[in-house]
Amino acid sequence: MANSSIAANLLQRIQSRQARCGVVGLGYVGLPLAVEFGRAGFVTTGIDLSARKVDAINDGRSYIDDVPTDHVAALRRAGKLSATTNFDVVGELDTINICVPTPLGKAKDPDLSFIVSATEAVAVHLHPGMLIVLESTTYPGTTEELVQPILERGGLKAGRDFFLAFSPERVDPGNKTFQTANVPKVVGGMTPDCSELAAALYGSAIQTIVPVSSPSVAEMVKLLENTFRAVNIGLVNELALMCDRLGIDVWEVVRAAATKPFGFMPFYPGPGLGGHCIPIDPFYLSWKARQSGFEARFIELAGAVNGSMPHHVVSLVADALNSICKPLNGSRVLVAGVAYKRDVDDVRESPALDILTLLRERGAELMYSDPFVPQLPGSLWRDGIDLEHVDLASLSPGACDCAVVVTDHSSFDYAALQRAACVVVDTRNAIRNPGPHVFRLGAGRRAEQPIEAAALA
């Protein structure tokens, strides 16, 4: 039970669904969370600086594939969900979840400006009895070293007058099995009351709560989860480069190793890391380690391997074009898939952006196909140009000299792609029964002589 009367009062409001909830940041993390709070019976307000997102929610529309529009519309009709760009509403709320981005700066150091600005806006309207939970991925110590001092500037104290916790987001966009409601939620509070209140709030909407002893532990949990993936992907990417040299098919190796029922978990190579977590989180961890005088060599080496993969992909494109006696300079290259993962529309940190940049630097004429990304502004990639999605079915045979499968969307017509390209580089092992003009990442194949024209027919 809560130790103070303020905590006991908020706990009662949460348990009776009388608490008014707020979610700052209505992206892939914030909107699903706000919807789950609304479906659990709370009157929930989303806060975002994007008028487009706010208008969509208030019109009963979802802009995220993982959140059905029907759910948003039903919550709007029931008066359980609304959105605003005005932080003044914080003064009327009992709980706030901060779900804003945490990108990397140019020097690969943490950019916490979104957390700072959101926390400062909340602090203006902070009142006794509120619960504040940070969900944004960050380095261990952020909640206590950065967020707490900002919130306490007005004289209120965390754990006494208001309550503060960290709970890492675990969103996997496009995952049809595990979504916000059924992914276990790790919660670490500043004090026992903080932990109890945060657990009660999440427990009303999420099936399993995993309490830990502090915000720093919860922050480290998130970094471990994603660094685990980044390091293992780095391992298998290095293995793919090795297999290329040894003439061994890395995909066959991983597939066979995965039959072991213990002690092995399959990871797969690819063109590089993308998304809002895995390419970024290990840098947060290694940055924090350096601040304490520790060098995270293993983690940084995996980052270097993964970061080199776009360069390797471009070298495969050059090899593939050489096999048909064409230089990369001046060749028409189609990039198939610019989203960072299959069947999503998110291009954040996508390796396709680096691949496009490198190809353009070497003189390639570029086009791309991605049904989830209708336009690709040049502002999203270094020295980029504006491009528009090209439907594979509309391409005539030989429309491009080389196609590169970067993101293996399930809707892609790979037969049409092979017809449209003289040679194909497949970085995802997406093409089944590939012909002689298909070069696969990590498959150990290098054409020693030009491919005959008849083989391309």
Catalytic residue, from 99, 277, 400, 402: name it: 277
DSSP letter, residue 143: I
Residue corresponding to tokens 């037969």 = 415
CA distance 165 to 17: 20
Extended strands (E) in 9-138: 20-24, 43-47, 81-84, 95-98, 131-134
21 is catalytic: no
Angle at 388 between CA 385 and CA 390, to 5 degrees: 135
Helix or strand or coil: residue 405?
strand
Q: Please classify residue 241 by burial: count the beta carbons closer than 10 Å to its beta carbon, then call 0-12 exposed, 13-18 middle and 19+ buried.
A: middle
CA distance 192 to 196: 6
> What are the residues whose beta carbons fall under 8 Å from the beta carbon of 54, sequence distance 6 or more?
26, 46, 48, 83, 84, 85
3-state helix, strand, coil in the chain (%, to 5): 40, 15, 45
Catalytic residue positions? Answer: 277
